[in-house]
Amino acid sequence: MSNPGALKAKIAERGLIRAIAAHSPLSALLAEEAGFDAIWASGFELSALYGLADMSLVTMTQHLDMLRAMAGRVSLPIIADIDTGFGNAINVIHAVREYERAGAAAVVIEDKTFPKVTSLVAGGRQDLVRIEEFEGKIEAAVASRTDPGFLVIARTEALIAGLGEEEALARAAAYEAAGADMILIHSKRQTPEEIESFVRAWRGNAPLVLVPTSYPDLDEKRIRALGRIAVVIYGNHGLRAAVTAMRDAFRRIIADGSAESVSKNIASVEDIFGLQDMDAEKASERRFLK
């Protein structure tokens, strides 16, 4: 079970931690098995799981239910991607209380208008709220948590919206002053120079969070060399890998008229039983069913 303080403790211990997006207990278990430090409870991935666009269509209840299910199956700290906070500052108060109770170690709130549009889509609407309004959301989030180890991460989309580095730095500084524990800075450039420039120009005390989806050549060696970065989030790679693998398997079964060739190249049923803790359940049956 994830708990407040777990993420903060890992950052203090390791300096830079690696989080991977997950959208289900199964994907969270695989992330833990692989050796990641934390889970990113991704709104984008959960939206895709439902076959919906990442445009605030998935409800807080749906996202909370999935986060709670993941927290019940893995020990990794979970960073909850709560988009714009599901409304205004009053909605943020409710959200923070619920996500902390559900087992999250942190929430990330972004400074877009509600409903948001996913950041990396071409031609997407990327409208930001006023700085003062978002300061209120961060203040509300900080005031609503019960454990100071529960982290409030402010995400600025100023670079995504094309407003430039100066605006991004001003927003990040305002959000830190409002109480944010960390700043997530996002970019849709295909190369990392825009992000690297922001990191070098950042004069605040809050550590930074990066999501190098569109600029994957920014590796962890370069990230460590930049300094000031506490978390790197691999934002949607599990989902994309799963889509590739399922699409290939499904097409091969149709083409072959059989699952024979596919069965040789996919996880065994026994492997899935292991992820389901089937041996433990069988042991419980032997012990308790009378």
Q: Which of 108, 94, 110, 208 is nearest to 145 (CA)?
A: 94
DSSP element (H, E) containing 6 = helix 6-14
Cα separation of 238 and 278, whole Å? 24
Length of the chain: 290
Angle (CA) 215 9 158, round 5°: 35
Tell me the β-bridge partners of 155: 110, 184
Specify whether 54 is catalytic: yes
Residue of 37, 54, 83, 181 marked active site = 54
Cα separation of 53 and 69, whole Å? 22
First to last CA, the chain: 30
Angle (CA) 20 21 26, round 5°: 100
Catalytic residues, which ones? 54
